A and B are shown apart, each in its own frame.
Chain A
Amino acid sequence: MRETFTKGMARNIYYGGAVFFFLVLIGLTVDTVNRLPETDNSQNMTELVIEGKRLWEENNCIGCHTLLGEGAYFAPELGNVYTRFGEDTENIKAFIKYRPVEGIPNRRSMPQFNLTDEQLEALAQFLKYVDGIKTARNWPPNVQG
Chain B
Amino acid sequence: MKYESQGVAKLYFIAAIALFVGQILFGVTMGLQYVIGDFLFPEIPFNVARMVHTNLLIVWLLFGFMGSAYYLVPEEAERELFAPWLAKLMFWIFLVAGALTILSYLLVPYARLAELTMNDLLPTMGREFLEQPTITKIGIVIVALAFIFNIGMTVLTGRKTVINLVLLTGLVGLAVFFLFSFYNPDNLVMDKYFWWFVVHLWVEGVWELIMASLLAYVLIKVTGVDREVIEKWLYIIIAMALISGLVGTGHHFFWIGAPDYWQWLGSVFSALEPIPFFMMTLFAFNVVNKRRRDHPNKAAVLWALGTAVMAFLGAGVWGFLHTLAPVNYYTHGTQITAAHGHMAFYGAYVMVVLTMISYSMPIMRGQKAGNIKAQVVEMWSFWLMTISMVFITLFLTGAGIAQVYLQRYSDDPLPFMVVQEKIAIFYWLREAAGLVFLIGLILYIYSFFAKGKEVEFVEG
Q: Please give the residue numbers on chain A whose beta carbons come within 8 Å of chain B beta carbons, in ascending order.
A: 5-7, 10-11, 13-14, 17-18, 21-22, 24-25, 28-29, 31-33, 35-36, 39-42, 45, 49-50, 53-54, 56-64, 66-77, 101-109, 111-113, 129-130, 133-137, 139-145
Mask: chain B, 368-379; 1 = CB below 8 Å from A; 0 = not: 000000000000
Contacts of B256 in A (CB 8 A): 68-70, 133, 135
Contacts of B247 in A (CB 8 A): 21, 24-25, 28
Contacts of A49 in B (CB 8 A): 186
Interface size on B, residues (CB 8 A): 78
Q: Can you sample 23 A-B contacts with CB below 8 Å?
A: A7-B231, A10-B232, A14-B242, A17-B240, A18-B239, A21-B246, A24-B247, A31-B259, A32-B253, A39-B258, A58-B110, A58-B125, A59-B111, A62-B127, A63-B51, A70-B252, A74-B33, A105-B38, A108-B420, A136-B255, A136-B260, A139-B255, A144-B416
Task: Taking A14-B236, A66-B333 as given, write out 9 further A-B residue pairs in contact, using a Cβ cutoff of 8 Å, ordered by the A residue number.
Answer: A17-B243, A21-B243, A32-B259, A36-B189, A62-B47, A68-B257, A69-B333, A102-B41, A107-B37
**B131→A60 contact, CB < 8 A:** yes
Contacts of B330 in A (CB 8 A): 141
**A14→B41 contact, CB < 8 A:** no
Let me know if B332 is at the binding interface, CB within 8 A.
Answer: yes
Closest to B39 in A: A106
**B190→A142 contact, CB < 8 A:** no
**A36→B190 contact, CB < 8 A:** yes
- Taken together as a complex, chains A and B put the C-alpha atoms of A33 and B253 apart, in Å, by 12
- Taken together as a complex, chains A and B put the C-alpha atoms of A60 and B132 apart, in Å, by 11
**B414→A144 contact, CB < 8 A:** yes
**B188→A60 contact, CB < 8 A:** no
Let me know if B207 is at the binding interface, CB within 8 A.
Answer: no
Contacts A18-B246, A111-B42, A144-B414; A139 near B329 (Cβ below 8 A): yes
Return the contact of A10 from the options B47, B236, B407 (Cβ within 8 A): B236
Let me know if B454 is at the binding interface, CB within 8 A.
Answer: no
Contacts A71-B333, A76-B417, A136-B254; A18 near B110 (Cβ below 8 A): no
Closest to B49 in A: A63
Q: Which of B80-88, B291-299, B307-315, B334-342 contacts A (4 or more CB under 8 A)?
A: B334-342
Contacts of A62 in B (CB 8 A): 47, 126-128
- Taken together as a complex, chains A and B put the C-alpha atoms of A5 and B332 apart, in Å, by 40
Let me know if B415 is at the binding interface, CB within 8 A.
Answer: yes
**A144→B408 contact, CB < 8 A:** yes
Closest to A133 in B: B257
Contacts of B238 in A (CB 8 A): 14
- Taken together as a complex, chains A and B put the C-alpha atoms of A46 and B280 apart, in Å, by 49
Contacts of B119 in A (CB 8 A): 57-58
**A-B CB proximity, top 4 nearest:** A63-B47, A57-B126, A69-B333, A108-B37
| A118 CB, min distance to chain B CBs, angstroms | 15
**B255→A22 contact, CB < 8 A:** no
Contacts of A137 in B (CB 8 A): 255, 329
**B239→A58 contact, CB < 8 A:** no
Closest to B125 in A: A57
* Most chain A Cβ neighbours within 10 Å, of B246, B262, B332, B337: B246
Return the contact of A7 from the options B36, B131, B232, B338 (Cβ within 8 A): B232
Contacts of B333 in A (CB 8 A): 66, 68-71, 73, 77, 140
| B113 CB, min distance to chain A CBs, angstroms | 9
**B231→A60 contact, CB < 8 A:** no
Contacts of A31 in B (CB 8 A): 259
**B38→A104 contact, CB < 8 A:** yes
Contacts A39-B189, A53-B188, A109-B41; A60 near B235 (Cβ below 8 A): no
